[in-house]
Structure 1
Amino acid sequence: MGFAEKTLSDFRFLLFISVILSCYISASATIAEANALLKWKSTFTNQSRSSKLSSWVTNTSFCTIWYGVSCNSRGSIERLNLTNNAIEGTFQDFPFFSLSNLAYIDLSMNLLSGTIPPQFGNLSKLIYFDLSTNHLTGKIPPEIGNLRNLKTLYLDKNKLNGSIPFEMGLLTSIQDIALSNNSLSGPIPSSLGNLKNLSVLYLYQNYLTGVIPSELGNMESMIDLVLSQNELTGSIPSSLGNLKNLTFLYLFKNYLTGVIPPDLGNMESMIDLELSENKLTGSIPFSLGNLKNLTVLYLFKNYLTGVIPPELGNMESMTDLALSQNNLTGSIPSSFGNLKNLTVLYLDQNYLTGVIPPELGNMESMTDLALSQNELTGSIPSSLGNLKNLTVLYLFKNYLTGVIPPDLGNMESMIDLELSENKLTGSIPFSLGNLKNLTVLYLFQNYLTGVIPPELGNMESMISLGLSRNKLTGSIPSSFGNFTKLKSLYLNYNHLSGTIPQGVANSSELNNLQLAINNFIGFLPENICKGGKLQKLTLDYNHLEGPIPKSLRDCKSLIRARFLGNKFTGDISEAFGIYPDLNFIDFSHNKFHGEISSNWEKSPKLGALIMSNNNITGAIPPEIWNMKQLGELDLSTNNLSGELPKAIGNLTNLSRLRLNGNQLYGRVPSGLSFLTNLESLDFSSNRFSSEIPQSFDSFLKLHDMNLSRNKYDGRIPGLSKLTHLTQLDLSHNQLDGEIPSQLSSLQSLDKLDLSHNNLSGLIKTTFEGMNVLTYVDISNNKFEGPLPDTPVFRNAAAEALEGNKGLCSNIPKQRLKPCHELKKPKKNGNLVVWILVPILGALVILSICAGTFTYYIRKQKPHNGRNSNPETGENMSIFSVDGKFKYEDIIESTNEFDPTHLIGTGGYSKVYKANLQDAIVAVKRLHDTIDEEISKPVVKQEFLNEVRALTEIRHRNVVKLFGFCSHRRHTFLIYEYMEKGSLNKLLANDEEAKRLTWTKRINVVKGVAHALSYMHHDRTTPIVHRDISSGNILLNNDYIAKISDFGTAKFLKTDSSNWSAVAGTYGYVAPEFAYTMKVTEKCDVYSFGVLILELIIGKHPGDLVSSLSSSPGETLSLRSISDKRVLEPRGQNREKLLKMVEMALLCLQANPESRPTMLSISTTFS
C-alpha cells in the first residue's frame, strides 16, 4: 500500500470516527433536552390534570411522540406549544440553557406563576414567544433585549409590574408586541420608535404614565396601536400622522390633554380611531374628513369645543360616530345625511343648537341615534320615520317643539324611543302602536294633550312606558292589558280620569306603577301585585276608594308605596301585611279605621310610616317603639288614645314625629330626650299635661315644635340650645310665669305663638337677638308694659296682642292703651351714637338743625337730641361682637378715615375697612362736605332709607348694619365686613372669576333670590331695592352673597301710590321706567334677570338684555354664553344653569305682569 493510499485510508477512518462521535454527542444532547423537559414537568403541581402530557415519558421518541414538542432536522427541540393545558407551575424552572435551539414557545392560557427569569434572554434563536393569560408576576427582565430574532412577543393578561424595559427597543426584528392587561407602570420607552418592523403594539389596560413618545411616529410599519386604559398624560403627538399604514389607533381612557392633531387626517389607512374619555380640548379637526376608510370615530367624553366639521360627512365608510359628552356647539351638519353606512350616531350631552336636519332621514343603515341633552329646537323631522333599521332614538332634554310626527310609527325596528323633557305639543300619534318591538317609550314632561291612544296596547313587547307630567286626559286604555312584559308604567301628573283597568296589572313583571295626581276613581285592580314583583306604587291624590286588594297585602316585594289623598277604606289592622323590604309608606288622608297593627315591626327596613288623617283608634302598639330604623312617624289627626311610654326613646333615628290631633294624654315620657335627631315635633291638639320638660333642650337639630292645645302647665323651659328652631307654638295651654330670657337665644326663630296661656311679666327686653322673627302671637295672657320696639311687634295685628290688660302701645291699629308714663331720656350734652341690634331696629326721625340729624337709641322713645362733643366718646355696641367700641375707636382704627383704609367709593360716600379690637367692620362715611351734601333732599332720603331698611330687614343674604352716627364732623354707618368685596369686581378679575365656580355662582343667584323674596313677600310692608346690580352684591370669604346699598329702596304703600323718580344702575333698570314712574316688585325682578345672565356670561350682558326683552320667545344657548374662564358646567350644575337661563328670560319680559314673582323664583331654586 502506497503512502497516498495509506493517508486516504487514515482520513476515512478519522472521518468515520468523527461522524460516530458527532452522532453520539448529538444523541446525548437531544436526550439532555428531553430530560430537561421531564425535569421541568416534575415541578408542575397538577401533573395528574395535564393529561396531554402523559406522552412525556422516558425512552420514547420525544420529537414525534411527545405532545406539543417539535424538533429540527438535527433532532433538537425547536418548538414547544403547550397552550391551554392547565399547567400549574412556574416559568422560573424552565430549562433555558438546555433548550438553546428553541425558536417557538407558546405557553399561553395556563396557570404559570412566578417571575420571568433573566435567563430568558439566552434563547437567542427565539422567534415566537407567548406567555399570555397566565399568573406571572414581577418585572419584564431587561435581558429581553438580547432576543434579536424575536418577531412575536405576547405577555398580555398576566400580573406583571414595573416599567417596560428600554432594551425592548433593541428588538429590531419584532413585529407584534402585546403587554396589555398587566400592572405595568412608568413611561412608554421612546426606544420603541426604533422598531421599524413593528406592526402591532398592545399596551392597553396598564398603569402607564407620562407622555406618548413622539418617536412612535417613526414606526412606519405600524398597523394596530393600542395604548388605551392607562394613565397617560400630555398631548397626542402629531408625528402619529406619519403612520400611513395605521388602521387602529386606540388612546381612549387616559388623561390626554391638548388638541387633536390635524395631522391625524393623514392616516389614510385608518379604520378605527378612538380617542374618547380623555381631557382633550379644542375643536375637531376638519382634516379627519379625509379618512375615507374610517368606520369608527369615538371622541366622546372629552372637553371638545367648536362646531362639528361638515367634512365628517365625507367619511362614507363610517359606521360608528360618537361625539357625545363634550362641549360642542353649533348645528348638526346636514352632510351627515351622506353617511349611508352609519349605524350609530351619538351626539348627546353637548350644547348643539338649531334644528334636527331632515337629511338624517337618509341614513338608512342607522340603528342608534342619540341627540339628547342638547339645546336643539324646532320640530322632529318626519323623515326620521324612514329609518327602518333604527332601534334607539334619544331626543330627550332638548327644546323641541311641535307635534310628534306620525311617521315615527314606521320605524318598525324601534326598541327604545325617548322624547321626554321637551316642549312637544299635540296628541300622541296612534301610529306608534305599530312599533311591535318597542320596549321603552318615554314621552314624559312635555305638553302633550288628548287621550292615550288605545293602539299603544298593540306594543306587546313594552317594558317601560312613561307618559307622566303632560296634560293627557281620558282614561287608561283597556288595551294596556296586552302589556304582559311591562315592568314600569308612569302616568302620574296628568288629567286622566275613569277607573284603573284590571288589565293594567296583567304583567307578572310589573315592579313600578305611578298613577299619582290624576282624577282616577273606583277600586284598585285585584291583581295589582299579580307577579309578586311590585316595588314602587304611587296612587296619591286621586279619588280611589274601597279596600286595599289582598294581592297588595301579600305583596312582599313592596319597597315604596303612596296611597295618600284618596278615599280608601277598611280596617287598618288588616289592610296591610308584612313587607320585608318596605322603606316608605304613606296612606294618610283616607278613611281607614281600626287599630294600628303590631306587624309594622316586622318591616325591618321601614324608614317612614305615615298614616295621618284617618279614623284610627286605640292605643299605639308597643311594637312601634321597637322600630329603631324609623326616620319619620306620622300618626296625626286620628283618634288614638293612651300615654306615651318611655320606650319611645328607642327611636333614635327619628327626625320627624307627628302625633298631633289625637286623644293622647299624660306626661311627656323621659325617653323622648333620647331622640336627638329630631327636626320636627308636633304634639298639638292632645291632652298632654304637666310641665314641658327641660330635656327638650336636647333636640339640637329641631326646626319646628308645636305643643299647642294641650294641658301643659308651669313655666316655659329655657330651650336656649335649640338654635335651629324656626317655629315654636306653645299656645292654648296653661303655662304661667314670665317668658324665660333664654328664649332670646333662638336667633333662627321665625314664628312664635304663646297665645292663650297665663304668662305674665314685662316683654320689652325679652325678644333681643331674635333676628328673623316675622310672626308673633302673645294674645290672651297677662303681659304688661310697652311692646318691644321691633319690626315684628310694630307690625303685629291687634288680634295677636289682645287679651293682655297690662300691655300698652302708641300704635293706634293695635288697639292697646297708650304708653303715657315713659321715662324721658336725659340730655347730657354728649355725642349721641345710636346702635342697631339687627332684630330690634330703630325709629329714625330726621330733624334738620344746623345741618345735622338727630337719631334715637333703640331702647328709648324719640326725642329731640342735640349735637354734642364727640371727644367724650359714648360707647358704641356692635352686634355679634363682644365688647364696646367708642367713637374714637372708629376714628382711630381708620386713622381718621385715611385713604390707606379706603376699600370703596360711591356717589355720596366712601367705604373704609376698620380693624377694631374684636372685629373687622366696614364703615361707610358720607363725604366731608356735610352741609352741602347731606342737606340735599336726595341724599338725606338715601341715608334715611339705608338706616330704616337695614333696621327692619334681617336676612342671611342681606348685609348687616351694626350702627350709625351723625355729626357735623363725621357721619357714617357701620356694616359687617365682606371680605371678597363686590360681585362686579370679582367678575372683572380673571383669577377671581376662575375661583368663582359654577356652584358658587348658582349659590349667589339662590341667595339673592331668597333675600328678594323675603323683602317682597315676607314683610307687612314690602321693600323694593330698586338697585339690584353686581356692584351691590357683596360676598364674604365663604362666597355667601349679601345685598347691600339700600339708599334707593322703596317701602311700598298699600294705597298703590308708589311713584318715584328713576333709580338704579344703568343696564339693570326695568324698561317700564321709560313710560311710567310706578315702583313695583317687578322692577327688582327685571334687575335680577340681568344679574343671572351676568353671572353666567361673566360680564354685563349689554345689548343682549334689550333684545331678549323685545323678543319674548327667544331662547339662549348656555354653551354659547357661559363664561369661558370657568370649566364647562356638567351634570347637575348644567341642569341648574339651564333652569336659571330660562328664569332669566322670564324675568326680562318687557311686560312687568309677565315676569314671575320673587317668591316663585325662590321656590323654584329651592
Structure 2
Amino acid sequence: MGPLEKPLCLFSLVLFVTLFSSTINVASASDEEANALLTCKANLQSANDSLLTSWILPPHDSGSTNASPCNWFGVSCNLDGTVIRLNVTNSSVNGMLDNFSFSLSPNLAYIELSINKFFGVNPPLICSLSKLIYVDLSTNQLSGNIPLEIGLLINLETLHLFDNQLNGSIPQKIDQLKSLIELALYTKSLSGPMHTLTNLGNLTRLYLYGNDLSGFIPPEMGNLVNLVELYMDGNNLTGSIPFTLGNLNNLTVLHLFNNSLSGSIPQEIGQLKSLQSLTFQTNNLTGSIPTSLELSSNPLSGPIPASLGDLTNLEILNLHANRLSSHIPQEFDNLKKLVELVLDENQFFGNLSELCQGVKLHYFTVHHNQLTCTTPKCLRNCSSLATARFEGNQLIGNIFEDFGTNPNLVYLDLSNNNFYGKFSENWGIFPNLTLRIKVRNNITRSIPPGFGKSTQLERLDLSSNRLVGEIPKKFGKLTSLEWLILANTLSVYEYLKRGSLAVIFNKDEEAKELDWPKRVNIIKGVASALSYMHQDCTLAIVHRDISSNNVVIDEEYEACVSDFGIAKLLKLDSSNWSAFAGTYGYVAPELAYTMKVTEKCDIYSFGVLALEVIKGKHPGDFITSLLTAAVENIKLKVVLDQRLSPPSPEVEEIVNLNLSFSR
C-alpha cells in the first residue's frame, strides 16, 4: 500500500463510522417517536380510520428496519427524519393529551389538534418543546388552568386555546412570549385581572372576548402598536377606557361591548384612521362621544349607518376614499356641530342632507361621487363655510340660487356638474378667497366684476361654460392671480354667429362679404384688444394663442379675441418662463427657443394674423420671404385676397404699412 493510499483508507473508515453512527441515531430517534405515537394511539379513539390504518410499524418479516412515522397521517418530518409537525385537526379524536409523550419529539414546531374531543388538563410537558412556533388546541374539552410553564415557549408565534373549558387566570408568564403574533383565549371561563402584555410587541391579534376577566384595561396596552384586531368584549372589565389605545394606529377592530366600563370615550379613539369596526355598547360609559371620527382611506363598503346621525356632538367625520355607497343618511341633518364633513371619493348617490343648519360647517367635500340632486339650500347662507368641493358629480341647480353669499370661502370647486343660470352681482365677493374657484357647467351671461374684489385669488377657472362679454377691468387688481382659465367660454359661437376668422376664410361666399374696410376694422379691433391686455391691466395678460381660430366675429363684423385657456399673467418679480404653448405657424420664435413669455409673443402672432386677414389664408412661407425681400419689391397682388376686388388707395397704404411692420 502506497503512502497516499493509507491516509485515504483511514479517511474512508472515519467517514463510514460517522455516517453509520448518524444513521443509527436517526433510526433510534425515529423509533422512539414512532413508539411514542403508537402508545398514544392505543389510548385514543377516533371515528376516522385514517389514524388506525396509517399509524403502524412495518411487519417484522418485511425486512424493513425503518420505523419512521414520517409517512403517517398528520405527521411531518424534517430532512433528518425527526417529527416537526403533528396535525390531526378535525379528525374526531377522543382522548387525553397526557397520552402524548411530547418530550420524545424535541423538534416539534407545530402542534395542531383543534376541533376534536381532547379532554383533561393542558400537559405541562408541551411547554418543554422550546422550538414550538404554532400551537392550536382550540375547540376541544380541555379543562384546568393554563400551565405557568407557557412562558418557556419563547419562539411561539401563535397560541390558540379558545373554545375549551379552561378556568383560572391568564398566567402573567405569558408576557414572556415576545415572538407571539396571535393570541386567542376566548374560552368562556377565564377570570381574574388582565395583565399588561407590554412585552408582546409583535402581537397583531388579541382575542379575549367571552370570558370573565375583571379589573382595569392596562394603559400599557397602548404600547402594542402592531395590534390590528382587539376583542375584549363580553367580560367584566371596569374602569375607564385608556386614552393610550389611541396609539394603536393599525387597529381595524376594537370591541369593548358588554363590559362594565365607565367614564367617557377618549377623544383619541376618534383618531384611529384604520378603524373599521368599533363597538362600545352595553357599558356604563358617560360623557360625550368623540367629536372626531377619522375612517378615511379604508376599503369600507355599504351604506353609512343612519345611527351616525345620533352622534349630535360630532365635530369631524372623515370617510374619504372608501367604497361606501347608497344615500347619505337624512339623519345627518342632526349633526349641527359638524365642523368638517369629508365624504369624497366614494359611491354615494341621491340627495344631500341640509348639512349646514348648525352654521358651523367649515370644510365640506363630496367630490367624485355619483350625486344627482340639488345642493343643500342651507349652504347658501352658511357663513362659516371655507372649503366646498362638489366636482365630479351630476349635481343640478341654479347657481345664482345655491351659492354666492359665503364671505369666508377660501376654496370652491363646482366643476363637471350640471349647474346652470347666471352669476349674480354677489358672486365673487369673497375677500378671503386664496385658492381657486372652478366652474365648468352651463353658466351663462357675463363674468361678475365682483371677482375683482377677491384680491387674494390665486386660481380662477371658468372654462367650458357659455359666458359672454368682456373680462372685467377689475381683474387687473388681482395681483395674486396665477391661473386664469377661460377656455371655451367667452364669446362662444352660439352668441357670435359669424364664427371665427378661420371658418369665414374657408367659405368663399362669407370671405367675399368680409370686404377690405371690414378687414381693416378687424385688424384694428384685435390690436385694440392686445393693447388693453398688455398696457391697461395692472398685470399684463399674454394670450399666447392669437390665431384666426381664436378671433371671432359678431353680427356687426367686430372682432373679439376668445379662448384664454393658456393665457398668462406677467408678474414683475417673476422670470415668466413657460412650457411651449400656442398654434403652429403663429408662435413667436423667441418663445419656441427660449420658452420665455413676453408681450412680443402676442405681437408676433398678431403680425401673422394681420397678413392672414389680408391674404384670406395663412401666409405660410410668405413670412420667410418678408425677411429677405424689400417691401417695395413685393407685388401687392401676391399679398391680397384674390376673392375681393382691388382695394382703395387708402387700404393699399394700410396694407403696405402692415407689410413693413411684419418685417
TM bucket, shorter chain: 0.3 to 0.5
TM-score under structure 2 length normalisation: 0.48
